[in-house]
Amino acid sequence: GAGVSQSPRYKVAKRGRDVALRCDSISGHVTLYWYRQTLGQGSEVLTYSQSDAQRDKSGRPSGRFSAERPERSVSTLKIQRTEQGDSAVYLCASSLDGAGGTEAFFGQGTRLTVV
């Protein structure tokens, strides 16, 4: 496939459980982002990495969100001890490099519902 793909598309998790969301980015892309998109709050960046180095971590609270990049074009977002406020659409995006004008390509997102 030529684009960014995410799996699963939908995930329901019980509060307190850990979840893992997968992103297959475009081969050759160096920069990878995870965003959380909630209604009325826009898109909040969770993690941002270039190659396999974690460049930035943010999110609320930061300790529960982490991203691993076992292969250059694969990333897994892990959310520990999920809370109801974690219900959102999680978007993965990648870009060829870290230059300012480079387009980022997005996956379709994973909709997480915490019950």
Partner 1 sequence: GDSVTQMEGPVTLSEEACLTINCTYTATGYPSLFWYVQYPGEGLQLLLKATKADDKGSNKGFEATYRKETTSFHLEKGSVQVSDSAVYFCALRTSGSRLTFGEGTQLTVNP
Give the C-alpha separation, 13 to 97, whole Å. Answer: 34
What is the closest distance, in whole angstroms, from the C-beta atom of residue 99 to partner 1 in the complex?
5
Using rule CB under 8 A, residue 59 touches partner 1 = no
Instruction: Name which of residues 28 to 47 contact partner 1 (CB under 8 A).
Output: 33, 35, 37, 40-43, 45
Spell out, one character per residue from 81 to 110, where the chain touches partner 1: x when CB under 8 A holds, - when not: ----------x-x----xxxxxxx-xxxx-
| SS3 per-residue string spanning 54-110 | EEEECCCCHHHEEEEEEECCEEEEEECCCCHHHCEEEEEEEECCCCCCCCEEECCCE
* Two tokens, residue 90: 């999680």
The SS3 call for residue 112 is strand
Which of residues 4 and 21 has its CB atom nearest to partner 1 in the complex? 4
Binding positions for partner 1, rule: CB under 8 A: 4, 33, 35, 37, 40-43, 45, 48, 55-56, 91, 93, 98-104, 106-109
